[in-house]
């Protein structure tokens, strides 16, 4: 009986069961978190294309969302919507499910390389519960990360485990699904190629094997999609800056994989090359020295290390900064797939050590292997509990968008776009002093820290928009209108950020006209926007329709639409206040009509005649 128990606890079934329970438990703390006002509304809460219909499915496959072509991810949201409606719980559960699937197949890949089940289990737990994973699992908008990774690692596993035509076909189909979940999966054919070359130990036949050609063809076709990563595509290409950023990120992701402390939802932009070149050079020299030593002393270890480093670099390349990606240089979520290759290298190293024969270490005769194994194992377990605790603490940050933004502002060198988001949020809640504070902070960053002229122009126009919003709140409508027209010209040309800012600019312009007494022009501005099409955000559509009916004094229609809006955005205090205001105005209009009825005896007699047989006491 004892033998059976020990055998079960050492089995892959037990490891997979423990991984599933641990992941489900740790991430259950955030399963009830609401949608946050950072992409969740665009992907889900305000997305009018989620109700199931063939037209909507066609739309999901024919357009991008928030700058990414991710039709399979959008279909997964459609499934959630069909089951859960707009209850965030269901969306969180599916994120957790795909994270579990991804981790299970990472474990299976580790076991394929004959890594001990205990080592594979501990390393996979570290990967699954690292604070770096919080962003991908807890943030509903990052469904694409966990879904893509699950399919990515499933594809690798079937390619390795089943070297047959059927296994190859399954692997290829999973690769296609992974790319349609997130374009970052285009790196997979290169990873498989590196594996094949390592297995053959022959670098002469560069174009071998032919069986990978379908993978490469699809990858090259879809490569442009991988270059448009969320956060914006290139604003201004600067070769030196791109190389510097890319090299910085290659080493930064290595460091963060093994020491995932002090995580931020949005990190400050990387300083220019002159301030990071020393760190980059020292890190590069250290890495090169290790490779040279391995090459001279142990060729087998050299080739394994080279293969792992190559897989890591290939997988991180789309988000390394080699192609600039707007206001986000680096983020924890980008490391989901690449970090697995680094952890595979660590697992192989630990496996080699734990499989060492009894005796002493050659270079350290006073330190016995058995004792060292226990020390390493104890350290790994303690570190794992620390990491799991930090994970739960960090999850709490992701409860609301405002908490995410505030937590990201940890120094003077905060990411400038986060300051803009915070200023917008404060304006929304009428905290104008704080809005001015963040706007002023943004102005200083724009002058002192931004070397990209196009990014500087973007920040300048965002700042002008913020000033216009503040002036609108202060009822300085003429001046606000002047600034709004100024920034509308810029955002009409800038497709990158127009989806975020043009609706708000148009809405404010219409309201400025209304409060200046030009109701006809206010309605015209609204109609032009609605007739322009391409409004996928159902809540924006509802807001504009409610505004239009309000301008036309059709309060009952406006109330009906605002009620529908509040169902989708129950935490929008402005909408609740607007509803109260509309209802008060509707009562006033009703009172006016009643007054007219009672002012005229003839009208009153006709009105009461309708109810002459009615018991009015009820």
CA distances from 294 to 39, 290, 297, 304, 548 (A): 46, 6, 5, 10, 71
- Least reliable range by pLDDT among 165-174, 189-198, 408-417: 408-417
Q: Indicate yes or no: pTM above 0.85.
A: no
Q: Is the pLDDT of residue 340 over 60?
A: yes
Distance, CA of 470 to CA of 474 (rounded, Å): 6
CB 139 within 8 A of CB 88: no
How high is the pLDDT of residue 382?
A: 93
Task: Taking residues 23-46, report their average pLDDT.
Answer: 90
Distance, CA of 599 to CA of 122 (rounded, Å): 84
Q: What is the DSSP letter of 170?
A: H
- Least reliable range by pLDDT among 113-117, 197-201, 368-372, 376-380: 368-372
CB 506 within 8 A of CB 543: no
Distance, CA of 252 to CA of 279 (rounded, Å): 10
Residue 176: both structure tokens together: 């296609």
Give the 3-state secondary structure of residue 494. coil
Q: Is the pLDDT of residue 566 over 80?
A: no
Longest dimension (CA), the chain: 114
CB 139 within 8 A of CB 398: yes
Confidence of residue 448 (pLDDT cuts 50, 70, 90): low
Q: What is the pLDDT of residues 522-546, one digit of tens each?
A: 888 888 887 765 566 667 777 777 7
Distance, CA of 491 to CA of 345 (rounded, Å): 46
Instruction: Please state the separation of Cα 219 from the chain's center in Å.
Output: 22
Among 470, 471, 412, 469, CA closest to 443: 412
Q: Which residue bears the tokens 């929304």?
A: 428
Average pLDDT over the chain reads 79
**Cα torsion angle, 63, 65, 67, 68, sign:** negative
Residue 231: both structure tokens together: 């956060």
């Amino acid at each position: 009986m004892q033998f059976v128990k020990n055998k079960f606890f050492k089995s892959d079934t037990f490891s997979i069961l423990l991984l599933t329970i641990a992941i489900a438990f740790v991430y259950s703390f955030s399963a009830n978190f609401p949608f946050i006002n950072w992409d969740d509304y665009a992907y889900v809460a305000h997305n009018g294309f989620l109700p199931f219909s063939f037209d909507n499915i066609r739309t999901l496959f024919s357009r991008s969302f928030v700058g990414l072509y991710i039709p399979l991810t959008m279909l997964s949201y459609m499934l959630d919507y069909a089951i859960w409606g707009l209850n965030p719980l269901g969306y969180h559960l599916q994120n957790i499910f795909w994270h579990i699937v991804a981790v299970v197949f990472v474990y299976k890949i580790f076991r394929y390389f004959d890594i001990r089940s205990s080592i594979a289990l501990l390393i996979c737990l570290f990967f699954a519960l690292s604070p770096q994973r919080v962003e991908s699992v807890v943030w509903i908008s990052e469904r694409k990360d966990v879904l893509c990774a699950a399919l990515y690692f499933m594809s690798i596993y079937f390619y390795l485990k089943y070297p047959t035509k059927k296994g190859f076909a399954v692997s290829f189909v999973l690769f296609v699904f992974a790319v349609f979940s997130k374009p970052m999966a285009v790196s997979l054919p290169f990873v498989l190629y590196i594996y094949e070359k390592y297995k053959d130990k022959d670098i002469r036949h560069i174009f071998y094997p032919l069986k990978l050609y379908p993978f490469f063809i699809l990858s090259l076709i879809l490569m442009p999609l991988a270059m448009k990563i969320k956060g914006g595509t290139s604003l201004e290409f600067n070769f030196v800056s791109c190389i510097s950023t890319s090299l910085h990120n290659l080493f930064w992701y290595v460091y963060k994989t093994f020491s995932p402390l002090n995580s931020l939802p949005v990190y400050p932009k990387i300083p220019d090359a002159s301030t990071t070149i020393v760190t980059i050079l020292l890190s590069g020299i250290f890495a090169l020295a290790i490779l040279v030593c391995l090459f001279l002393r142990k060729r087998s270890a050299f080739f394994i290390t080279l293969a792992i480093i190559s897989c890591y670099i290939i997988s991180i390349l789309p988000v390394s900064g080699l192609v600039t990606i707007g206001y986000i240089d680096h983020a924890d979520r980008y490391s989901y797939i690449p970090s697995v290759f680094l952890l595979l290298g660590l697992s192989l190293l630990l496996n080699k050590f734990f499989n060492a024969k009894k005796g002493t270490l050659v270079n350290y005769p006073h330190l016995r292997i058995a004792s060292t194994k226990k020390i390493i194992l104890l350290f790994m377990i303690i570190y794992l509990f620390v990491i799991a605790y930090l994970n739960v603490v960090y999850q709490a940050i992701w409860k609301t968008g405002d908490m995410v933004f505030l937590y990201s502002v940890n120094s003077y060198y905060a990411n400038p776009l986060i300051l803009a988001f915070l200023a917008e949020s404060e304006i929304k809640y009428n905290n104008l002093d704080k809005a001015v504070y963040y706007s002023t902070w943004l102005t200083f960053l724009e002058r002192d820290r931004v070397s990209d002229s196009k990014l500087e122009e973007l920040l300048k126009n965002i700042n002008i928009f913020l000033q216009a919003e503040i002036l609108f709140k202060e009822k300085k409508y003429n001046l606000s209108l002047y600034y709004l027209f100024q920034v509308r010209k810029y955002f009409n040309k800038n497709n990158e950020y127009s989806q975020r800012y043009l609706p708000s600019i148009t809405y404010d312009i219409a309201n400025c006209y209304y409060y200046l007494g030009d109701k006809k022009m206010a309605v015209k501005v609204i109609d032009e926007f609605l007739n322009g099409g391409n409004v996928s955000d159902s809540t924006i559509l509802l807001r504009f329709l409610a505004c239009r009916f309000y301008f036309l004094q059709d309060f009952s229609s406006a109330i009906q639409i605002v009620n529908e809006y509040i169902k989708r955005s129950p935490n929008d205090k402005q909408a609740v206040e607007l509803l109260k205001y509309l209802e008060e105005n509707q009562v006033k209009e009703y009172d006016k009509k009643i007054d007219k009825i009672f002012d005229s005896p003839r009208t009153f007699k006709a009105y009461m005649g309708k109810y002459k047989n009615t018991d009015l006491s009820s």
